[in-house]
Amino acid sequence: MPRQSTVAAQADKSVESPKDAAPLPETQTSDAAQQTPALELQSKSRWTIEDSEELYRINGWGEPYFSINAAGHVTVSPQGDRGGSLDLYELVNALKQRNLGLPLLIRFSDILEDRIERLNACFAKAIARYNYGGVYRGVFPTKCNQQRHLIEDLVRFGKPHQFGLEAGSKPELMIALATLDTPGSLLICNGYKDREYIETAALAQRLGHTPIIVIEQIEEVDLAIEAARKIGIKPILGVRAKLSAKGIGRWGTSAGDRAKFGLTVPEIIRAVEQLRAADMLDCLQLLHYHIGSQISAITVIKEAIREASQIYVELARLGANMNYLDVGGGLSVDYDGSKTNFYASKNYSMQNYANDVVAEVKEACEERKLPMPTLVSESGRAIASHQSVLVFDVLGTSDVLPNVPEPPDDKDPLVIRNLYETYQSINVENYQEAYHDATQFKEEAVSIFGFGYLSLTDRARAERLFWACCAKILEIVRQQDYVPDDLEDLEKIMASIYYINLSVFQSAPDSWAIDQLFPIMPIHRLDEEPTRRGTLADLTCDSDGKIDQFIDLRDVKYVLELHALKPKSNSEPQPPESQLPKTLSSQVAVSHSQSAHEPYYLGMFLNGAYQEIMGNLHNLFGDTNAIHIKLTPKGYQIEHVVKGDTMKEVLGYVQYDSEDLVENIRRRAEQALQENRITLAEAQLLLQNYEQSLSRYTYLSS
């Protein structure tokens, strides 16, 4: 990845985690974590919230909205540094008491407002600084998040800045036309268009809108000319250019000659000639480009604006009535807080971005003595990401819990004795070699077992010994500045699995589809050391339904530091982990059941852009509950509750009629009753559960 060299990265990592550097003597903690010393991180004398801040990098990605309070809870300051804050953990508990179960998508409308304010302030500042002769009129690309409450808020918050909307399809145009009511704001019409789209957009001028129809395909020029003739309205037109400046990373192919959208330079010239011939060249007023989303390097942004500025001035020279330059999206979000050109980050600020756009356009126009255009940007990600937080609970964990092995005696098979000897010998000098030995002995055990020379019990012992070796080696590895390649996976192999009450496919589809990173962390217990390392497994029956890449200062990390689940204080005590049944693979014991632990809440942050609408119904897990929260002088207010899908609703999406389903079950129960296969009480319970489920949330309730 385009960051530091690995050697530097390795060295830095050890600095970054003071807990790895100096093993301090174990001290007390009372939670269940202490039962498995081999896999716990070395205990620091006292874990502080500052340690959590550093570990989860919350200041890097969260400022100024998210931080940690003295109670060890995540707090939200929706108005940034300008207003109060609220305790996210307490908020979730309060919402649960209102029967709003997890997973919960919590939207903070104040954050949305703050993002709009910031973007406009940055452009205003740049315009003043460079003495730019035009204005900024931003638009929000609807595709980023079309939820009604959000779009309505956007329009309302954007009024002071004449902030507009961008539509990329006919349905989005429908939303924009009916929702946008800010005089002077722009309605940018992108995407593939047919006659109806163009006519509707052009007619919207009569309603007081300022629709700009952006030609994305050369065929649309004729459609626009015909529509103008037919309805007798001169549309405002734009062209989308395919720049040769290429984006980088995931969306790098949005630009360049082979990009899906936009006109090549020869096509732009052709469009100009066609419009001139139709006596409509004065309609062409805007130049647009979009080189992709999450452009993490400022150099790429500069290169694009430089090229576009030249095309702009050339179009003016050819006689088009140029007024607007629309720089599209691409303004990044620093998901990992590293301030680098890594794909999950960005190496520039919003102000740098605005400065570069303003400065480049000004320079190009001044050179040609042209009036400076109104600057338009279509930032979606940068506006919508921060406002929503997804909170979900952990249902249970599966942990690798080796206990200290018992010494074998002379009658035990050689392979067991060898493994034990290896275990005993592990130290800082030989741990890498010991790992290879242990691996080899374990394979040997499996092979001997295959020939019938090792009992099932002995094979289980061999595997347990192997995991005990791994645990001991891992402890040493964690204290090293440099991890040998062949031991890099050890952390992953030994990680706990945290089962989360969530569908990744529904709530974080980009994490599954394109390995996008979102900051994830516990929202409470942050004054406690997270002694486990785990990956997250979701509710779906799909092995892809997991999260096993997390933000890190350099690149990514494959396990996340998490807390051991606390047994519920008022329930039966948990059996000691040594008494839990050992499966054949020996190392895994699902150590907590669903109800036996205190709630443990995780938050996924910065996921307000693209995730909701791209989410799908895999395994029929539906939309989550979504809550809109607004800060008030006294606290907060719940503005809207958008209940998540019920089972009935998701079944309806796949054409099942709930009443038919109930009727079907009722008939079968009746028949079973007739044939004495079920009791009346059982049949009643079954039907009652079935019917109640249909109107319930698709997620598990805790």
Ligand X SMILES: *Cc1c(COP(=O)(O)O)cnc(C)c1O
Q: Is 293 in the site for ligand X (CB under 6 A)?
A: yes
- Closest to ligand X by CB, 254 vs 397, is 254
Considering only 13, 19, 137, 143, the residue that binds ligand X (CB under 6 A) is: 143
- Rounded-to-10 torsion of CA 218, 224, 225, 228: -170
Where do the H-state alpha helices sit in 380-430? 381-384, 414-425
The two three-digit tokens of residue 148, written as one number = 């009604």
Q: How far apart are CA 696 and CA 618, in angstroms?
A: 17
* Nearer CB in complex with ligand X: 331/517: 331
Q: Is 62 in the site for ligand X (CB under 6 A)?
A: no
| Residue 329 C-beta: closest distance to ligand X, Å | 2
Could you tell me the smallest distance in angstroms from the CB atom of residue 129 to ligand X? 23
Stretch that binds ligand X, among 101-109, 229-237, 287-295, 389-397 (CB under 6 A): 287-295
Q: Figure out which of the listed residues 101, 380, 603, 615 binds ligand X, where binding follows CB under 6 A.
A: 380
Choose, by CB under 6 A, the member of 107, 290, 346, 362 that binds ligand X. 290
What are the residue ranges of helices labelled H in 336-455?
350-367, 381-384, 414-425, 431-450
The span of 100-108, 380-388, 427-435, 543-551 binding ligand X (CB under 6 A) equals 380-388
Q: Which of 282, 281, 301, 299 is nearest to 291 (CA)?
A: 301
Quote the least distance from Cβ 328 to ligand X, whole Å.
4
Among positions 49, 116, 331, 364, the unique one binding ligand X when judged by CB under 6 A: 331
Q: Give the nearer residue to ligand X in terms of CB position, either 329 or 545.
A: 329
Contact 517, 336 (CB under 8 A): yes
Q: Does residue number 168 form part of the binding site for ligand X (CB under 6 A)?
A: yes
Which residue's CB atom is positioned nearest to ligand X? 329
Looking up tokens 């645990």, which residue turns up?
Answer: 471
- How many CB atoms sit inside 10 A of residue 282's CB? 14
Q: Is 223 in the site for ligand X (CB under 6 A)?
A: no
Binders of ligand X among 173-212, rule CB under 6 A? 190
Residue 292 beta carbon to ligand X: minimum distance, rounded to whole angstroms: 7
Q: By CB under 6 A, is residue 330 in contact with ligand X? A: yes
Return the residue of 328, 402, 413, 545 that touches ligand X, per CB under 6 A: 328
The footprint of ligand X on this chain (CB under 6 A) covers a number of residues equal to: 18
Contact 315, 272 (CB under 8 A): yes
329 is a contact residue toward ligand X (CB under 6 A): yes
CB 234 within 8 A of CB 228: yes
Parallel, antiparallel or unpaired: strands 532-537 and 546-547: antiparallel
Binds ligand X (CB under 6 A): choice among 36, 43, 341, 379? 379
Query: Cα(170)–Cα(617) distance, rounded to whole angstroms?
Result: 24
From 238, 200, 244, select the one nearest 220 (Cα to Cα).
Answer: 238
At 408, which amino acid appears? P
CA distance linking residue 538 with residue 522, whole number of Å = 16
Site for ligand X in 598-637 (CB under 6 A): 609
Task: Report DSSP state, residue 328.
Answer: -
H/E run at residue 222: helix 219-231
* List 336, 360, 378, 645, residue binding ligand X (CB under 6 A): 378
By the rule CB under 6 A, 141 interacts with ligand X: yes
Taking the least distance from each CB to ligand X, the nearer of 237 and 281 is: 237
398 to 199, 391, 395: CA distances (angstroms): 59, 21, 10
Query: Which residues of this protein are in contact with ligand X, per CB under 6 A?
Result: 141, 143-144, 168, 190, 290, 293-294, 328-331, 378-382, 609
